[in-house]
C-alpha cells in the first residue's frame, strides 16, 4: 500500500512547569493509513491530547516538541514554517473537539462559521461557499440544512452542534481528521449516531481518522488499529481485534477488564491495579510490574458481596415482573414481606416556570420531573438511567429537598418530608446524603480535606471534641482507601478519583443511611471509575447503605443496581429488576438505549472487523 | 505518590497567591512603595518636626514629638514653662544640663521656622524654591513643604484604608445578601445599589460639609466610604451568584450547614480574591477624591497638612512649581502603586492563569 497519511517517529513533547519538566509525550511512534482509523486510548493525563496538539502544532507556550518527526504525507510538520502550518491546519488536517458547546462562537450563525472556514482555505464566492455548506450539512445528517444554516449555536442540540463541527472540519476535504474525544460529552444514542457518521464519511472520502478517547467501548466501534497510551508512552499498539483478543500489556488487560459490560456477571470490577503495579524510580522513570490474575481472584470478583436484592414479591407483581426463579441468578433475594420502604416517592413533579415578556409573566413550565413514583427498601440500590435532560438529576435533588417539588409526596421512613422547612430538614440531612458528579466542583478549594470532612460532623453534632472529629476523619479517609496524611492538604492536589473518594468520605461523615449518587463516576476515567464503583459497593455492604444511583451510562447502572428505572422526559419509561429490564426491555426507548451502548464484546467486534477487511480489500 | 512527600501539609490558596505575587517585580515594587509610605506616615514625627524625639529636661525624659500624633501626648510641663513650641533655645536656657534628639529634618508642618530658633539654621523664607534647607521649598507663609508632605502621608493612607474599609464592609454584606438569597431580596438590594450609584460623591460631600459645623477628615472618610461601595457590592453579588450554584455549596446545604456559615465559610472565602481587586482600586480612587477636595479647598480642615491642600496653595501661586510638582507626584505615585497592586492581586489569584500553568 501507499505511504501512510501520518507517520510519527519518536515524538517527545515536554512541558516546562514550575515543578520541573513533565514528559507529556515520551517517545511515541505510530502511523495511520489512508481510509483507516487509529484509536488512541488512555486515561486523562496519558498524553493522548498532547499528541494531537503536537500534530497540529497548537501546543501551549510552555510545551515544546523536543525531538521526533511528524510526517504528514512525507512532509515533516515539526520542521515546517508557521505559515505553511496555517495552511495545513483546517485544510489537510482538521480537528474536532470534545465540547461542541464551546467550540462554536455563539454570536455567529453556524452557517456563517462553516462558510468562513471554506472561504479561508478556498478561493470561492460566498454563494458557492453557502451551497457547499448546505451540502456538507446534508452529508453529516443535519435535517433541513437550508434553514439550519441560519441557526445560532444555542438553537441546536449538542449532537447537532457536534455535526456542525464535523461539517466544518470536513469543509476543505481533509486527508486526516483528528477527533479528540468527540463523543464524550454526548448521550449514548447521539454518540452512536456520530460514530456512524464518522465511519461513513471516512469510507466515502477515504479519510484517515485519529480517534482519541478514554473509552475502549468506543474504540471497538470505530477503530482499525489501536494505540494504548500510559504516562506518555504507547504501551501497546496493534490491530484492534488482536488487542481485544490477546492483550499483552498488563495495562491493556486491566483497561479491558475494568469496564462494566452490559452482559458481564461481575459483582466487583477488576481494576488496573489488579493487573499491574507502577514503581517510581529515583530518576523519575517508572517501571511497570505485571501481576498475575489467577482464576480464584476472578472468582472473587464474581462471588464476593451480595446478590441482587429485589422489591418484595407483591411489589414485583404490581410492577409487572412476577417472581420467577428461573429468570434470576440463584443468589437473587427479595426484600421480606412487610418491610417498610426507606423512601417512598408518590407522583413527584418538579416543574420550572418559564418567564417571558417584559413583565416576566409565567409563560409555561419545563416539566423536569413529571409524575414519578417508586419505593426503595433498606439496603437496596435503585438505578436511575436516562439521557441528559431527562430529569434524573432533578429527581435526585428534589428527593433530598435541595429543590422544592411542585407536587407529589416524598415519604422518608414514614415521615412526609415534602413540605419540611429547611430547619426541619436539618436533622434529616444527617441521614440523607448526596455524592455529586464533578469531583472538581464539589470540594471547596479553600478548605483543607480535614475541615471538609469534619464540617458535617460539626454541623450535625457528631463527635465529642475537635480531636475526636479529627480521629473520625482519619478513619473515614482510611475507609475510602486514602492516606490520613492527606488531611492537611487542599483539594487541588488530588486527582479526580481521589477527590471523589474525599467526597464520599465527606458524605459518610454525617453517618447517613441513604445516599444519592448523582452521576458520581461519570467524570472519572474507566480505570478509576471501577475503583470507585467497587468502593461504593463495599461501603454499602459494610454500612448497610441504601443508594439511588443516577447515571447516563446503562452499563454502570446495571452493574450497580438491584432495581432500575429508565427515565425519559421526566417520566419513568420502565421500572423493574435491573437484570430483567436489560434482558427483555419492554419499551422502545429502553431498547434504543441498550442498542446505542457501545459493543465491545468479541463477537460483535469480530463481525465488524471482518466487514472492514472486506471493504478495505475491495477498495 | 511518595509517602514522605504526602505528609507535608499543602500550602493554602493565599500562600500560593503570595508566592506568585512575589515573583513579579512590578506589583512587588508597588507594594514596597505603599509599605514605605506607611513607614513614613508612622515615623513622620521622627522624620520632620521641631519637637525633639526624646529629650532630658530637669532630670526627666520626655518625648515631645509624640505631640504630632496627638496633642494630648505633649507633656504639660512644656506649656507651664512657656516653651512656645521653640524647644532648642528654651531647653538650653531653662536647663543647661538638658539634651535632646531632634527629627532628621528640623522643619515644622504647621508653622514657619524662624531665625535663631535653632543654632546654625536660618529661618525659612516665604515662598522659597527648593534648597538644602527646604528640600521641597516653602509655601506662601514660609512653612516647609517637605514637612507638610511627610505629615500629610498619614492622611492620604488613612483616607484610603478607612473609607475603603467602610465601603468593603457595606459592599460585601449587601452584595453577599443579594447574590446568595436572590429573588426579592436581590431585586430590592440591586435597586438600592443602583440608587446609591447615581449619587455623585463629590456633590454629596460638598453638601454635607456645608451642613456640618466642624467637618473633620473622619467625616470625609465616612462619606467616601458610604458612597463608594457599589462596585464592590455588584462584584460580590456576581461572585455569589456564580459560586452558590457550585456543587460544593449544594453539598454543604445537603450536609445541613446553615445559610450564614455557607455564605462566609464556603462562598465568601472563594469570592474574596476577585473582590480584593476593586478594593485596592477603590483605595486609589479615595485618595484622589480626598486630594481633589483639598485642592478645591474643601478638604481636611486647615491646620492639617495634606497633599491636596498643598496643591491648592500651588494653584494660587503658579510660579511656585514645587507646590504642584512634589505633592502631585506623591499622589500620582500612591495611586499608581495601589492600582498596580490591584492588578498584581488579580494576576496572582486569577484561576485562568493558574490553570495554564499545569
DSSP conformation letters of B7-48:
TSPPP-HHHHHHHHHHT-HHHHHHHHHHHHHHHHHHTHHHHB
- Mean per-residue pLDDT of chain B: 82
Identify the three-state secondary structure at position A284. coil
Smallest CA–CA distance from B250 into chain A, residue: A402
Confidence of residue B9 (pLDDT cuts 50, 70, 90): low
What is the distance between the alpha carbons of residues B73 and B239, in angstroms, rounded to a whole number? 47
Q: Tell which phi-psi region holds residue A376, choosing left (phi > 0), alpha (psi between -120 and 50) or beta.
A: beta
pLDDT at residue B346, as a whole number: 81
pLDDT at residue A260, as a whole number: 83
Smallest CA–CA distance from B272 into chain A, residue: A446
What is the distance between the alpha carbons of residues A63 and A59, in angstroms, rounded to a whole number? 6
pLDDT score of B6 more than 50:
no
**Residues from chain A contacting residue B255 (CB–CB below 8 Å):** 429, 433, 455-456, 459-460, 506-507, 510
Nearest by CB to residue A400, choosing from B6, B248, B254, is: B254
Tally Cβ neighbours within 10 Å of residue A144.
11
**Residues from chain B contacting residue A53 (CB–CB below 8 Å):** none
Q: Do residues A576 and A564 touch, judged by C-beta distance below 8 A?
A: yes
Whether residue B269 and residue A426 make contact (CB cut-off 8 A), yes or no, is no
Q: Do residues B281 and B338 touch, judged by C-beta distance below 8 A?
A: yes
**Residue B289, C-alpha cell as written in the block:** 477624591
**Residues from chain A contacting residue B251 (CB–CB below 8 Å):** 434, 436, 442, 503, 506
**Residues from chain A contacting residue B6 (CB–CB below 8 Å):** 483, 485-486, 489
Nearest by CB to residue B7, choosing from A427, A441, A485, is: A485
Confidence of residue A2 (pLDDT cuts 50, 70, 90): low
**Residues from chain B contacting residue A19 (CB–CB below 8 Å):** none
Smallest CA–CA distance from A518 into chain B, residue: B247
Our CA-based measurement puts residue A456 at a distance from the nearest CA of chain B, in whole angstroms, of 6
pLDDT at residue B7, as a whole number: 52
Our CA-based measurement puts residue B31 at a distance from the nearest CA of chain A, in whole angstroms, of 24
Tally Cβ neighbours within 10 Å of residue A135.
11
What is the distance between the alpha carbons of residues B242 and B226, in angstroms, rounded to a whole number? 26
Of the candidates B278, B188, B291, which has an alpha carbon nearest to the alpha carbon of residue B235? B278
pLDDT score of B85 more than 80:
no
User: What percentage of chain A exceeds 90 in pLDDT?
Assistant: 30
Higher pLDDT, B235 or A495: B235
pLDDT score of B4 more than 60:
no
Of the candidates B78, B278, B79, which has an alpha carbon nearest to the alpha carbon of residue B167? B278
**Residue carrying the nine cell digits 476515567:** A525
pLDDT at residue B352, as a whole number: 54
pLDDT score of B128 more than 80:
no
**Residue A35, C-alpha cell as written in the block:** 481510509
- Mean per-residue pLDDT of chain A: 87
Q: To 10 degrees, the CA torsion angle through A248, A252, A257, A261?
A: -120
Confidence of residue B1 (pLDDT cuts 50, 70, 90): very low
Provide the greatest CA pair distance for chain B.
79
- Over residues B2-25, the mean pLDDT reads 69
Our CA-based measurement puts residue A604 at a distance from the nearest CA of chain B, in whole angstroms, of 40
pLDDT at residue B345, as a whole number: 85
Confidence of residue B355 (pLDDT cuts 50, 70, 90): very low
- Over residues B183-210, the mean pLDDT reads 87
- Over residues B113-134, the mean pLDDT reads 76
**Residue A243, C-alpha cell as written in the block:** 488487542
DSSP character at residue A69: E
pLDDT at residue A134, as a whole number: 92
Put simply, whether the predicted model's pTM sits higher than 0.90 gets the answer no
pLDDT in tens, A192-249: 888 998 998 898 888 999 999 988 888 888 999 999 999 889 999 999 999 998 898 9
**Residues from chain A contacting residue B358 (CB–CB below 8 Å):** 17
CB neighbours of B70 closer than 8 A, spacing ≥ 6?
A: none
Mutation target to probe the A interface, by most A beta carbons within 10 A, among B239, B248, B250, B350 is B248
pLDDT at residue B2, as a whole number: 39
pLDDT in tens, A106-122: 888 999 999 988 888 88
- Sign of the dihedral defined by the CA atoms of residues A230, A232, A235, A236, in that order: positive
**Residue B342, C-alpha cell as written in the block:** 490591584
Side-chain-side CA neighbours of B349 within 13 Å: the count stands at 22
Amino acid at each position: 500500500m501507499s505511504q501512510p497519511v501520518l507517520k510519527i517517529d519518536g515524538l517527545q513533547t515536554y512541558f516546562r512547569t514550575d515543578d520541573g519538566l513533565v514528559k507529556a509525550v515520551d517517545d511515541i511512534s505510530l502511523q495511520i493509513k489512508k481510509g483507516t482509523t487509529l484509536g488512541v486510548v488512555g486515561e486523562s493525563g496519558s498524553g493522548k491530547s498532547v499528541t494531537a496538539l503536537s500534530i497540529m502544532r497548537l501546543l501551549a507556550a510552555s510545551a515544546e516538541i523536543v525531538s521526533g518527526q511528524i510526517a504528514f504525507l512525507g512532509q515533516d510538520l515539526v520542521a515546517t514554517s508557521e505559515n505553511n502550518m496555517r495552511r495545513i491546519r483546517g485544510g489537510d488536517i482538521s480537528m474536532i473537539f470534545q465540547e461542541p458547546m464551546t467550540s462554536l462562537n455563539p454570536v455567529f450563525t453556524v452557517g456563517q462559521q462553516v462558510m468562513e472556514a471554506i472561504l479561508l482555505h478556498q478561493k470561492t464566492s460566498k454563494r458557492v461557499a453557502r451551497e457547499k455548506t448546505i451540502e456538507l450539512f446534508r452529508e453529516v445528517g443535519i435535517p433541513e440544512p437550508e434553514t439550519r444554516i441560519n441557526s445560532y449555536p444555542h438553537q441546536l442540540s449538542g449532537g447537532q452542534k457536534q455535526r456542525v463541527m464535523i461539517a466544518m472540519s470536513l469543509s476543505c476535504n481533509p486527508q486526516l481528521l483528528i477527533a479528540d474525544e468527540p463523543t464524550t460529552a454526548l448521550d449514548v444514542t447521539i454518540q452512536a449516531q456520530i460514530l456512524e457518521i464518522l465511519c461513513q464519511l471516512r469510507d466515502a472520502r477515504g479519510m484517515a481518522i485519529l480517534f482519541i478517547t478514554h473509552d475502549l467501548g468506543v474504540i471497538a466501534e470505530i477503530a482499525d488499529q489501536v494505540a494504548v497510551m500510559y504516562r506518555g508512552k504507547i504501551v501497546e499498539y496493534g490491530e484492534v481485534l488482536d488487542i481485544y483478543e490477546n492483550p499483552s500489556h498488563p495495562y491493556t488487560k486491566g483497561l479491558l477488564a475494568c469496564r462494566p459490560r452490559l452482559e458481564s456477571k461481575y459483582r466487583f470490577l477488576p481494576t488496573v491495579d489488579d493487573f499491574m503495579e507502577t514503581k517510581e524510580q529515583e530518576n523519575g522513570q517508572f517501571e511497570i510490574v505485571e501481576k498475575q490474575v489467577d482464576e480464584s481472584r476472578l472468582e472473587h470478583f464474581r462471588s464476593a458481596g451480595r446478590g441482587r436484592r429485589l422489591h418484595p414479591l407483591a411489589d414485583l407483581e404490581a410492577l409487572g415482573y412476577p417472581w420467577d426463579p428461573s429468570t434470576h441468578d440463584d443468589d437473587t433475594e427479595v426484600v421480606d414481606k412487610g418491610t417498610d420502604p426507606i423512601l417512598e416517592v408518590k407522583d413527584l413533579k418538579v416543574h420550572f416556570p418559564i418567564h417571558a415578556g417584559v413583565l416576566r409573566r409565567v409563560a409555561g413550565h419545563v416539566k423536569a420531573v413529571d409524575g414519578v413514583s417508586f419505593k426503595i427498601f433498606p439496603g437496596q440500590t435503585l438505578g436511575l438511567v436516562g439521557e441528559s435532560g431527562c430529569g434524573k438529576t432533578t429527581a435526585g435533588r428534589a428527593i433530598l429537598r435541595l429543590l422544592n417539588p411542585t407536587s407529589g409526596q416524598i415519604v422518608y421512613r414514614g415521615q412526609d418530608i415534602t413540605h419540611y422547612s429547611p430547619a426541619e430538614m436539618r436533622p434529616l440531612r444527617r441521614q440523607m446524603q448526596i455524592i455529586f458528579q464533578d469531583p472538581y466542583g464539589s470540594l471547596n478549594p479553600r478548605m483543607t480535606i480535614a475541615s471538609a470532612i469534619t464540617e458535617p460532623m460539626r454541623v450535625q453534632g457528631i463527635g465529642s471534641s475537635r480531636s475526636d472529629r479529627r480521629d473520625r476523619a482519619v478513619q473515614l479517609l482510611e475507609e475510602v482507601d486514602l492516606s490520613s496524611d492527606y488531611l492537611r492538604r487542599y483539594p487541588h492536589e488530588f486527582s479526580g478519583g481521589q477527590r471523589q473518594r474525599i467526597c464520599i468520605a465527606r458524605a459518610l461523615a454525617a453517618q447517613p443511611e441513604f445516599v444519592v449518587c448523582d452521576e458520581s463516576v461519570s467524570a472519572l476515567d474507566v480505570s478509576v471509575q471501577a475503583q470507585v464503583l467497587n468502593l461504593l459497593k463495599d461501603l454499602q455492604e459494610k454500612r448497610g447503605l441504601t443508594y439511588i444511583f443516577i447515571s447516563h451510562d446503562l452499563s454502570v447502572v446495571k452493574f450497580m443496581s438491584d432495581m432500575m428505572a429508565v427515565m425519559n422526559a421526566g417520566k419513568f419509561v420502565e421500572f423493574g429488576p435491573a437484570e430483567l429490564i436489560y434482558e427483555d426491555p419492554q419499551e422502545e426507548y429502553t431498547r434504543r438505549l441498550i442498542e446505542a451502548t457501545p459493543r465491545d464484546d468479541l463477537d460483535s467486534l469480530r463481525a465488524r472487523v471482518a466487514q472492514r477487511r472486506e471493504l478495505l480489500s475491495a477498495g | 505518590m511518595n509517602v514522605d512527600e504526602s505528609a507535608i501539609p499543602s500550602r493554602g490558596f493565599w500562600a500560593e497567591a503570595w508566592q506568585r505575587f512575589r515573583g513579579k517585580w512590578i506589583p512587588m515594587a508597588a507594594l514596597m512603595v505603599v509599605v514605605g509610605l506607611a513607614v513614613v506616615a508612622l515615623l513622620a514625627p521622627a522624620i520632620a518636626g521641631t519637637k525633639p524625639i526624646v529629650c532630658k529636661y530637669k532630670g526627666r525624659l520626655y518625648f515631645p514629638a509624640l505631640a504630632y500624633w496627638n496633642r494630648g501626648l505633649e507633656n504639660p510641663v512644656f506649656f507651664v514653662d512657656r516653651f512656645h513650641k521653640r524647644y532648642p533655645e528654651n531647653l538650653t536656657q531653662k536647663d543647661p544640663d538638658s539634651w535632646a534628639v531632634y527629627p532628621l529634618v528640623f522643619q515644622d508642618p504647621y508653622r514657619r521656622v524662624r531665625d535663631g530658633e535653632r543654632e546654625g539654621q536660618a529661618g525659612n523664607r516665604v515662598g522659597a524654591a527648593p534648597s538644602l534647607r527646604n528640600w521641597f521649598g516653602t509655601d506662601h507663609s514660609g512653612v516647609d513643604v517637605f514637612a507638610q508632605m511627610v505629615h500629610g502621608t498619614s492622611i492620604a493612607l488613612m483616607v484610603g484604608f478607612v473609607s475603603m474599609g467602610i465601603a468593603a464592609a457595606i459592599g460585601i454584606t449587601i452584595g453577599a445578601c443579594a447574590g446568595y438569597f436572590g429573588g426579592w431580596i436581590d431585586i430590592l438590594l440591586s435597586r438600592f445599589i443602583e440608587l446609591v450609584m447615581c449619587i455623585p460623591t463629590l456633590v454629596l460631600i460638598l453638601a454635607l460639609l456645608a451642613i456640618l459645623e466642624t467637618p473633620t477628615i473622619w467625616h470625609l472618610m465616612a462619606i467616601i466610604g458610604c458612597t463608594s461601595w457599589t462596585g464592590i457590592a455588584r462584584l460580590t453579588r456576581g461572585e455569589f451568584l456564580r459560586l452558590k450554584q457550585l456543587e460544593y455549596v449544594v453539598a454543604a446545604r445537603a450536609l445541613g450547614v446553615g445559610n450564614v456559615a455557607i455564605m462566609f465559610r464556603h462562598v465568601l472565602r472563594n469570592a474574596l480574591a476577585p473582590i480584593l481587586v476593586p478594593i485596592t482600586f477603590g483605595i486609589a480612587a479615595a485618595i484622589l477624591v480626598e486630594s481633589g477636595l483639598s485642592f478645591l479647598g474643601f478638604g481636611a480642615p486647615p491646620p492639617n497638612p495634606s497633599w491636596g491642600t498643598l496643591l491648592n496653595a500651588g494653584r494660587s501661586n503658579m510660579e511656585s512649581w514645587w507646590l504642584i510638582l512634589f505633592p502631585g507626584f506623591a499622589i500620582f505615585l500612591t495611586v499608581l502603586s495601589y492600582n498596580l497592586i490591584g492588578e498584581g492581586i488579580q494576576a496572582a489569584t486569577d484561576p485562568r492563569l493558574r490553570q495554564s500553568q499545569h
